Amino acid sequence: MTSTNSASVAAVEAHSSEFLVFSLGEEEYAIDILKVQEIRGYENVTRIANAPDFIKGVTNLRGVIVPIVDLRIKFHLDKVEYGGQTVVIVVNVGERIVGIVVDGVSDVMTLTPEQIKPAPEFGVTLSSDYLSGLGSLEDRMLVLVDIEKLLTSEEMAIVDHVSE
Amino acid sequence: MDISDFYETFFEEAEELLGDMERHLLELDIDEPDAEQLNAIFRAAHSIKGGAGTFGFDVLQQTTHLLENLLDHTRRGELALRRDIVDTFLEAKDMLHDQLDAYRNGAEPDPEAFERICKTLQTLALEEMGKSVDGGSDSAAQPTVAVEPKENAEPSVEESSEPAASKSADVAADSGRLSVALIDVSEKDRETLVEELGNLGKVLDQQGDAKRYVVELETNASRGDIEAVMCFIVEPEQLEIQTAAPAQAVVDSVAETQDTPSDAKQEASGGDPQTPVPVANKPPAAKTKPKANSNAKGGGGESTSIRVPVDKVDQIINLVGELIITQSMLDQTASELDGVSHGALVNGMSLLQRNARDLQEAVMSIRMVPMDYVFSRFPRLVRDLAAKLDKDVELVTEGKSTELDKGLTERIIDPLTHLVRNSLDHGIETPDAREAAGKSRTGKLTLSAQHQGGNILIEVVDDGAGLNREKLLAKARSNGLSVSDSMSDDEVWQLIFAPGFSTAEQVSDVSGRGVGMDVVKRNIQSMGGHVEILSRPGEGTTTRIVLPLTLAILDGMSIKVGEEMYILPLGAVLESLQPTAEDLYAMPGNDILLKVRDEYLPVIAVQEVLDVEKACTAPTDCIAVIVQGEGRRYALLVDDLVGQQQVVVKNLETNYRKVPGVSAATILGDGSVALILDIADMHRLSRTKQEARQTRLPAVSNKPLPFKEVEPS
Residue B235, phi-psi category: left (phi > 0), alpha (psi -120 to 50), beta (remainder): beta
Sheet (strand A17-24) strand order: A104-111, A17-24, A27-32, A140-145, A131-137, A116-117
Q: What is the pLDDT of residue B372?
A: 86
In angstroms, the first-to-last Cα distance of chain B is 60
**Structure confidence at residue B155 (pLDDT):** 42
One domain, residues B474 and B337: no
How big is chain B by its Cα radius of gyration, in Å? 34
pLDDT at B700 over 60: no
CB contacts of B319 in chain A (<8 Å) are: 63
In a domain, B401, yes or no: yes
* Interchain contact, A65 vs B654, CB within 8 Å: yes
Nearest to B380 by CA among B4, B18, B3, B1: B18
> Which of A68-72, B16-20, B560-564 shows the lowest mean pLDDT across its residues?
B16-20
Q: Tell me which residue of B581, B582, B587, B593 sits closest to B620, measured CA to CA.
A: B581
Q: Which is higher by pLDDT, B504 or B304?
A: B304
Chain A CB contacts of B654 below 8 Å: 64-65, 96
Cβ neighbours of A49 in B, within 8 Å = 609-612, 659, 661-662
Distance from CA of B193 to the nearest CA of A (A): 58
Range of the domain at B515: 370-548
Taking an 8 Å cut-off on Cβ atoms, the answer to whether B675 and A159 are in contact is no
Q: CB atoms < 10 A from the CB of B105, how many?
A: 7
B552 close to A (CB below 8 A)? no
Please tell me the distance from the alpha carbon of residue B697 to that of residue B424, in angstroms, as a whole number: 51
pLDDT attached to residue A58: 93
Q: What is the total count of domains within chain B?
A: 3
The answer to whether the CB atoms of A66 and B685 lie below 8 A apart is no
Per-position b or e across B542-568, b if 16+ CB within 10 A of its CB: bbebbbbbbbbbbebbbbbbbebbbbb
**pLDDT tens-digit profile of B116-167?**
888 888 887 777 666 544 444 443 334 433 444 444 444 444 344 444 444 4
Write out the H or E segment, with its range, that includes residue B354: helix B343-366
Does B442 fall in a domain? yes
B270, pLDDT greater than 50: no
pLDDT grade for B213, boundaries at 50, 70 and 90 = confident
Which residues neighbour A16 within 8 Å (Cβ) at sequence distance 6 or greater? A10, A110, A111, A112, A113
The confidence score (pLDDT) of residue A89 equals 94
Could you give the 3-state DSSP secondary structure of residue B450?
Answer: strand
Residues in A whose CB is inside 8 Å of some CB of B read 44, 46-51, 57-60, 62-67, 96-98, 157-160, 163
DSSP string, B511-533: S-SS-SHHHHHHHHHHTT-EEEE
Q: What is the CATH number of the domain that holds B621?
A: 2.40.50.180
pLDDT at B467: 81
pLDDT of residue B303: 55
Indicate whether B527 and B561 sit together in one domain.
no
Using CA atoms in the order B480, B482, B488, B494, what is the torsion angle rounded to 10 degrees?
Answer: -50
Q: What is the DSSP letter of B709?
A: P
H helices of B160-217, in order, are: 168-172, 187-200
- The amino acid occupying position A32 is D
CB contact under 8 A, A47 and B671: no
What pLDDT score was predicted for residue B699? Answer: 41
Mean pLDDT within B200-213: 71
Q: Residues B452, B540: one domain?
A: yes
User: Which residue in B398, B393, B371, B390 sits closest to B380, CA to CA?
Assistant: B393
Does residue B507 lie within any of the structural domains? yes
In a domain, B581, yes or no: yes
**Are B424 and B334 part of one and the same domain?**
no
Question: What local confidence, expressed as pLDDT, does residue A21 receive?
Answer: 93
Do B616 and B639 contact (CB within 8 A), yes or no? yes
In-domain check, residue B532: yes
Contacts of A47 (CB under 8 A, 6+ apart): A56, A57, B564
User: Nearest Cβ partner of B318 from A51, A58, A63?
Assistant: A63
Which among A46, A62, A157 has the least Cβ separation from residue B675? A46
Question: Any CB–CB contact under 8 A between B610 and chain A?
Answer: yes
Contact A66 B672 (CB under 8 A): no
Question: What is the pLDDT confidence band of residue A36, given thresholds at 50, 70 and 90?
Answer: very high
**Do B362 and B388 share a structural domain?**
no
**B676 chain-A contacts, CB cut-off 8 A:** none
pLDDT of res. A100: 93
Residues B567 and B683 in one domain: yes
A69-108 confidence digits (pLDDT tens): 998 888 888 878 887 778 999 999 888 899 999 988 988 9
What is the maximum alpha-carbon separation in chain B? 112
Amino acid at B138: D
- Domain A2-156 in CATH 1.10.8.80? The answer is no
CB contacts of B653 in chain A (<8 Å) are 160
The pLDDT assigned to B232 comes to 58
Chain A hits for B327, CB-CB cut-off 8 Å, are: none
The β-bridge partners of A103 are: none
Examine residue B186 and state whether it is found in any structural domain, yes or no. Answer: no
Longest CA pairwise span in chain A (Å) = 48
User: Could you tell me the pLDDT band of residue A155, with boundaries at 50, 70 and 90?
Assistant: confident
Instruction: State yes or no: pLDDT of B650 exceeds 60.
Output: yes
List the single residue in B611, B651, B667 with the smallest CB-CB distance to A49.
B611
Cβ atoms within 10 Å, residue B343: 11
Across the range B167-189, mean pLDDT stands at 60
Nearest CB among B653, B654, B673 relative to A46 is that of B673
Residue B68's pLDDT is 82
**What is the model's pLDDT at position A20?**
93
* Other residues' Cβ atoms within 10 Å of the Cβ of residue B254: 10
pLDDT at B261: 43
Residues whose CB is less than 8 angstroms from the CB of residue B419 and which lie 6 or more positions away in sequence, other chains included: B460, B520, B543, B545
Select the residue from B657, B659, B675 to test the A interface by mutation, using most A Cβ atoms within 10 A: B657
A vs B, Cβ pairs < 8 A, gives 76
**Between the CA of residue B667 and those of B43, B63, B141, B333, B563, what are the distances in Å?**
49, 52, 80, 17, 16
Check whether residue B385 and residue B493 sit in a common domain: yes
| Chain B residues whose beta carbon lies within 8 Å of the beta carbon of residue A37 | none
What pLDDT score was predicted for residue A123?
A: 62
* Residues of chain B contacting A48 with CB distance shorter than 8 Å: 656, 659, 662, 675
pLDDT score of B159: 40
Strand partners, B243: B178
Q: Interior CA angle at B294 toward B290 and B299, to 5°?
A: 155
Q: Is residue B280 part of a domain?
A: no
Q: Which residues of B touch A59 (CB under 8 A)?
A: 672-673
Which residues in chain B touch residue A64, judged by CB atoms under 8 angstroms apart?
A: 650, 654-655
Residues A138 and B470: their CA atoms lie apart, in Å, by 86
Q: What is the mean pLDDT of residues B415-438?
A: 86
Q: What is the pLDDT of residue B141?
A: 39
Residues of B numbered 135-194 whose beta carbons fall under 8 angstroms of chain A's beta carbons: which are they? none
pLDDT at B625: 92
pLDDT tens, residue by residue, B447-468? 999 887 667 889 999 888 888 8
pLDDT at B682 over 90: no
Residues A9 and A111: beta-carbon distance below 8 Å: no
Using alpha carbons, select from B274, B272, B276 the residue that is nearest to residue B294. B272
As for the ipTM of the complex, it is 0.83
Q: Which among A44, A97, A159 has the least Cβ separation from residue B657?
A: A159
B406's enclosing H/E stretch is helix B406-422
Residues 225-244 of B with CB under 8 A from A: none
Look at A4-8, B37-41, B63-67, B560-564 and tell me which has the smallest mean pLDDT: A4-8
Dist. CA B113–CA B118, nearest whole Å: 8
Chain mean pLDDT for chain B: 73
Which amino acid does the sequence have at B166? S
Q: What pLDDT, in 10s, does the model give residues B343-383? A: 888 888 889 988 988 888 888 788 888 888 888 888 888 88
**DSSP state at residue B409:** H
Give the range with max mean pLDDT: A16-25, A31-40, B66-75: A31-40
- Choice between B363 and B295, residue whose per-residue pLDDT is larger: B363
Q: State the pLDDT confidence band at B566, using cuts at 50, 70 and 90.
A: very high
- CB B561, CB B571: distance < 8 Å: no
Task: Report the distance separating Cα B195 and Cα B217, nearest Å.
Answer: 12
What are the residues facing A57 on neighbouring strands?
Answer: A68
Within 666-685 of B, beta carbons closer than 8 Å to A belong to 667, 670-675, 685
The angle formed by the CA atoms of residues B57, B62 and B63, to the nearest 5 degrees, is 105
What mean pLDDT is predicted for residues B383-402? 87
Please give the DSSP secondary-structure letter assigned to residue B423. Answer: I
Look at residue A98 in the predicted model and tell me its pLDDT: 93
Q: What is the model's pLDDT at position B233?
A: 62
Question: Poorest-confidence range of A126-130, B5-9, B27-31, B160-164?
Answer: B160-164
Select from A37, A40, A50 the residue whose CB has the most chain B CBs within 10 Å, as the one to mutate to test that interface.
A50
Residues B496 and B422 occupy one common structural domain? yes
Residue B445 pLDDT exceeds 80: yes
Residue-wise pLDDT tens digits, A114-142? 888 887 776 666 677 788 888 888 788 88
Q: Do B443 and B533 fall into the same domain?
A: yes
Residue B359, in any domain of the structure: yes
Same domain, yes or no: B324 and B392? no
Q: Is the pLDDT of residue A143 over 80?
A: yes
Contact status, residue B224 vs residue B168, Cβ threshold 8 Å: no
| Separation in Å, CA B411 to CA B308, B525, B526, B551 | 20, 11, 10, 12
Q: Is residue B387 located within the same domain as residue B494?
A: yes
